[in-house]
Amino acid sequence: MRIFVAVGRLRLWLPTAALVMSGCGGPFPQSTLLPRSDFARATDVLFTDIFWWAAGVFLVVETLLVVTLIRFRHREGRAAPKPTHGHTLLEIAWTLAPAAILVFVAVPTVRTIFATSGEAPADALKVDVIGHQWWWELRYPDLALVTANELHVPLGRAVQLSITSADVIHAFWAPPLGGKRDAIPGHVNQIAFRADRVGDYGGQCAEFCGASHANMRLRVVVDSDSGFGRWATEQLEGPAAPAPGTIAERGKAVYARSACIGCHTIQGVSPGVIGPNLTHVGSRTTIASGLFPNDSAHLASWIADAPALKPGALMMRMKPPLSDADIAAIVAYLESLK
């Protein structure tokens, strides 16, 4: 009978365990446990250290508890064990041992806090990160370069981010590269890191900031040194002029006479500063702050009705609405802006 109950229980537990374990399969685009910079490695080492201290404490406490429960459990006819009162040595030991463990936790913690306080060497690549509802403006002051939502940084070089906000409080967080920093209007917070592996990493606004907080993503692209140089050179060039007679050229004309120009900058075409700079929008891999792939279908839906794709998006539906042909032309133009 017992064996049937055990098998029945196992049949309930196995699928549940399998379901829970399926979360361990990855990929983990926003895991803090896959560090890709000096900052992230420092916090990862600290986390691992504290984890093992906690595991050791757990093991000792639970072992003592289980041993006590078994050894002194109630048995028929046995007298109750004699309680201990006032044991100086024991009391000193259980005061000193946790204090010593806390020292081993506190010293590396404080050291890591100072090491990751945002101070970068003077030759660091400086980037101003400005949070907006719901996208990220990225300015490279030394390069006179402006882009949005996709932060490019070179491998192995110190990067200094100066983080602020244009409206409400946001928080910059690219887990593989380092900790969170609040983006507060009228105040600048610093974060510094040195990326140590080329790659394309996800990030996320980490402070509730309104309807599309969850849709305020970002990407950090760690380029090789030469790759970063190439990217910066391309970004600094003026926008490509569409070839005469193409649909992209017609798109440029539609763009230039529509409401787009009130909010977006395309160098030499429109000076708007409310929305993301579109001078090289065709070179980005995503649109809408990392929400959708940058392809013609998503661009067209975005231009037609952005708030339908991203609740609260400040980019309103155009009145009167653009025709499908006009939208297709603008899409072709934006895709040509590599």
x/- contact string, 86-125, with ligand CUA (CB under 6 A)?
Answer: ----------------------------------------
Whole-number minimum distance, CB 218 to ligand CUA, in Å? Answer: 10
- Residue closer to ligand CUA by CB (options 254, 306) is 306
Inter-residue contact 142 to 323 (CB < 8 Å): no
x/- contact string, 33-72, with ligand CUA (CB under 6 A)?
Answer: ----------------------------------------
d(CA 303, CA 315): 8
Q: Residue 293: which residues within 8 A CB-CB, separation 6 or more?
A: 285, 286, 287
Using CB under 6 A as the binding rule, whether residue 131 contacts ligand CUA is answered as yes
Reply yes or no: is the peptide bond before residue 136 cis, omega within 30 of 0: no
x/- contact string, 155-184, with ligand CUA (CB under 6 A)?
Answer: ---------------x--------------
Rounded alpha-carbon distances, angstroms, from residue 193 to 13, 30, 122, 161: 44, 17, 13, 9
Using CB under 6 A as the binding rule, whether residue 137 contacts ligand CUA is answered as no
Whole-number minimum distance, CB 202 to ligand CUA, in Å? Answer: 15
- Residue closer to ligand CUA by CB (options 131, 290) is 131
Secondary structure letter of residue 283 according to DSSP: G
Inter-residue contact 220 to 197 (CB < 8 Å): no
- Residue closer to ligand CUA by CB (options 194, 310) is 310
d(CA 218, CA 216): 7
Tell me if residue 213 falls in helix, strand or coil. Answer: helix
Q: Which of 42, 120, 127, 216 binds ligand CUA (CB under 6 A)?
A: 216
d(CA 129, CA 19): 39
Inter-residue contact 31 to 176 (CB < 8 Å): yes
Q: Which of 148, 151, 161, 209 binds ligand CUA (CB under 6 A)?
A: 209
Whole-number minimum distance, CB 188 to ligand CUA, in Å? Answer: 17
Q: Which residue matches tokens 């001078």?
A: 279
Q: Which of 134, 173, 201, 255 binds ligand CUA (CB under 6 A)?
A: 134
Applying CB under 6 A, which residues contact ligand CUA? 131, 134, 170, 205, 207-209, 213, 216
